[in-house]
Amino acid sequence: MNEREQVTVREYIEALLGNCKEHCRDKFVDVYNTMGILVENQGDSIKTAKIEMDRRLEGMNEFRNQLEKQAGDFVNKAEQGIINNQILERLHKVEQQKSILDGKMVTVIAFICAVVSVLIVVGAEILRHTK
């Protein structure tokens, strides 16, 4: 062995540490770059998710507004009961009025029949006396 082939322990350890340091720096740069790409992709994913969530929330708000609008047109059970009772009362009054009119109509028809009968009898008597 000559002097050129011999290496001191210090030089050997410094060479190992240099290689290790260089290897670690390369790995750190790789991890740093990979994390940067992941963060960028995550940002895009978050933007896409936010757009989708906003779209869904808008649809839900439209649906809620439509339900509120429809609910304003509905009548609750208590109000419907009152309305039904009012309709039934009006129907009862109309039926009573119809009954009264039917009775009056029968009376008028009977009176007309009586008048016509009297006229027929009077007319027959007149014809009989004129012959």
Q: Are residues 109 and 63 in the same domain?
A: no
The answer to whether residues 7 and 64 belong to one domain is yes
Which tens digits make up the pLDDT trace of 70-92?
877 777 888 889 999 999 999 99
Domain span at residue 23?
Answer: 1-74
Tens of pLDDT, residues 13-33? 888 888 898 889 988 899 988
Domain count, the chain: 2
Are residues 68 and 5 part of one domain? Answer: yes
> Are 65 and 54 within one domain?
yes
- Rounded to two decimals, the pTM is 0.39
Q: For the chain, give the percent of residues with pLDDT over 90.
A: 45
Q: What is the DSSP string of the chain?
A: --GGG---HHHHHHHHHHHHHHHHHHHHHHHHHHHHHHHHHHHHHHHHHHHHHHHHHHHHHHHHHHHHHHHHH---HHHHHHHHHHHHHHHHHHHHHHHHHHHHHHHHHHHHHHHHHHHHHHHHHHHHHH-
Same domain, 104 and 127: yes
| Domain stops at, among 74, 99, 122 | 74
